[in-house]
Chain A
Amino acid sequence: DTAVSQTPKYLVTQMGNDKSIKCEQNLGHDTMYWYKQDSKKFLKIMFSYNNKELIINETVPNRFSPKSPDKAHLNLHINSLELGDSAVYFCASSPTGGNEQFFGPGTRLTVL
């Protein structure tokens, strides 16, 4: 059983397009996150949600809009894609009060 899943695994698109990445966790966790890992392999937090409420927004451009329809899902919508958005995006979740974050397999986004 997949704990944290992301779709799609690969996404290739043109500059200026709008795209979404979906994330689902079946662990019953209350907190979910989005991270971005760039070509230099730096892994940076983008957003953190707890019980569907935004907790952290790390100065991410407003072209990026996370949406949490329920505690098990945190989707990432990106408007007007730019070349610099090319990266691997990881979703993660953790229980409230927990020490461990569980990461999804990642979505490799390539903007041409």
Chain B
Amino acid sequence: DAKTTQPPSMDCAEGRAANLPCNHSTISGNEYVYWYRQIHSQGPQYIIHGLKNNETNEMASLIITEDRKSSTLILPHATLRDTAVYYCIVRVFLTGNQFYFGTGTSLTVIP
């Protein structure tokens, strides 16, 4: 069962930062926060994950609040190719453990 809450949809202007929020108020101490995205008709793609510290990679930044009850995925300069459904997932790190995908946020980047 998905343990996260995300807004169903968001718009962002091309070139601007896209900030996607996620609530996970019941997160356990050993659960990580993961972000995936699914571009239309393709398989989901890993973006980033974190436990309690903020993380950054070549795709995005992940900001996790100090109480770990919410997080924000930041795409610093959104492009049209970032239009996708973004999934926030909490998961215990365990071999073979699956990801429970919720409904996600449909992000539309507008020219």
- Chain A positions within 8 Å of B, measured between CB atoms, are 4, 30-31, 33, 35, 41-45, 48-50, 55-56, 58, 90, 92, 96-97, 99-106
> When the two chains form their complex, are residues A100 and B101 in contact, meaning their CB atoms are under 8 A apart?
no
Partner of A31, one of B44, B46, B95: B95
CB B102 to nearest CB in A, in angstroms, measures 8
Partner of A90, one of B34, B43, B46, B95: B43
Which DSSP category, helix, strand, loop or mixed, fits chain A's interface? strand
Q: Which residues of A contact B85 (CB under 8 A)?
A: 41
> When the two chains form their complex, are residues B49 and A44 in contact, meaning their CB atoms are under 8 A apart?
no
> When the two chains form their complex, are residues A50 and B96 in contact, meaning their CB atoms are under 8 A apart?
yes
> When the two chains form their complex, are residues B98 and A102 in contact, meaning their CB atoms are under 8 A apart?
no
Name, among B34, B49, B93, B96, the residue most crowded by chain A CB atoms within 10 Å (CB to CB): B96
- Chain B residue nearest to A95 in the complex (CB): B95
